[in-house]
Amino acid sequence: MDSSRRRILQLLGVSALALTTRPVFNAFAKEEVAAEAESVIKAGAKSLKAKQWAMVIDTRKFKSEADLEPLIEACHKIHNVPRLQNKRHEIKWIWGVHYHNAFPGKAAQFLAEKVEQRPFLVLCNHCENPPCVRACPTKATFKRESDGIVFMDFHRCIGCRFCMAACPFGARSFNFRDPRPFIAETNKEFPTRMKGVVEKCNFCAERLALGQLPACVEISKGALAFGDLYNPKSDVRKLIRTNYTIRRKQTLGTEPSVYYIV
């Protein structure tokens, strides 16, 4: 082919012109899409909002394990938490322990009798600096920006259990078995989990979205308070202001959001 300088310049010019057509086509394509109405995603009108949800547990109002039972039952029932007899397979979202288990390092050799015998309700602390989130390799567990809940995306959990090793509170349980046969009464409105997935308390995010308080708080007859830690007028801040409260393993620096009035 005979390629004179003129011919090459002509080709370059035409090519440059061709390059400009794509943005023009794109612009037209965009207009077409915009003409078709778009769908919108938004929060529910009644949903409760907070910067960091927090809970205050008035442990003085619980005398024995039997007092905790209805709260645990309410939570486990609505979240389809299975009841497994084998302790090593147990799934727990919320449960009761002794003072020296809940607050190791704080339990002196001799304790006030009432504190020693009192059951302490424990659950995921929804830490402000959660070690489980840093441990998760798939971002299946994460600190939710919108409300500070340490949430789990069960779809993404690969069951590596790094989060369980990282959590200093033992708040996470692993489904060693298919949980479905062990759920006495399934709540059809909440999914179950499957074998090989870690689970834990979600601060009843599904109820908060409907404007309801967490199930345990609702049933506790005032022993549990729930609210925004960063709103000075919230119930939890009022209680923290007027009572002496402690948190679990505070020295670890995870900044738990569950406070205990002892």
Partner 1 sequence: MNNKKLIITGLVIFLIIVLFPFWYMRGKAAPAPEPVLTPKAQAAQACVRSTEYMRSEHMLLLDVWRDSVVRDGNRIYVNPQGKEFNMSLSNTCLDCHSNKAEFCDRCHNYASVRPYCWSCHIDNPKEKT
> Is the separation of the CB atoms in 57 and 224 below 8 Å?
yes
Q: How many residues bind partner 1 (CB under 8 A)?
A: 30
Q: Among 65, 84, 247, which Cα is nearest to 169's?
A: 247
Does 190 bind partner 1 (CB under 8 A)? Our answer is yes
Does 144 bind partner 1 (CB under 8 A)? Our answer is yes
* DSSP structural state of residue 221: T
Residue placing its CB nearer to partner 1 in the complex, 78 or 115: 78
Does 43 bind partner 1 (CB under 8 A)? Our answer is yes
- Residue 176: CB minimum distance to partner 1, A: 16
- Residue 210: CB minimum distance to partner 1, A: 9
Q: Which residues 208-227 are close enough to bind partner 1 by CB under 8 A?
A: 209
Does 47 bind partner 1 (CB under 8 A)? Our answer is yes
Q: Exposed, middle or buried: residue 22 (CB in 10 Å: 0-12, 13-18, 19+)?
A: exposed
Which residues have a Cβ under 8 Å from the Cβ of 232 and sit 6 or more positions away? none
- Residue 202: CB minimum distance to partner 1, A: 10
Does 228 bind partner 1 (CB under 8 A)? Our answer is no
Does 89 bind partner 1 (CB under 8 A)? Our answer is no
Does 189 bind partner 1 (CB under 8 A)? Our answer is yes
Q: Exposed, middle or buried: residue 139 (CB in 10 Å: 0-12, 13-18, 19+)?
A: exposed
Distance between alpha carbon 234 and the CA centroid of its chain, in Å? 20
Does 34 bind partner 1 (CB under 8 A)? Our answer is no
Q: How many CB atoms lie within 10 A of CB 35?
A: 7
Q: Among 179, 177, 183, which Cα is nearest to 73's?
A: 183
Judged by CB under 8 A, the residue of 151, 226, 259, 260 near partner 1 is 151
Does 138 bind partner 1 (CB under 8 A)? Our answer is no
- Residue 231: CB minimum distance to partner 1, A: 17
Residue placing its CB nearer to partner 1 in the complex, 88 or 188: 188
Judged by CB under 8 A, the residue of 92, 193, 207, 237 near partner 1 is 193
Contact pattern from residue 154 through residue 183 relative to partner 1, giving x for each residue in contact according to CB under 8 A and a dash for the rest: xx----------------------------
DSSP 60-123: GG--SHHHHHHHHHHHHHHTT----SSGGG---SEEEE-HHHHSTTT--SS--HHHHHS-EEEE
Q: Among 43, 220, 44, 208, which Cα is nearest to 126's?
A: 208
List residues near partner 1 by CB under 8 A: 36-45, 47, 142, 144-147, 151, 153-155, 186, 188-194, 205, 209
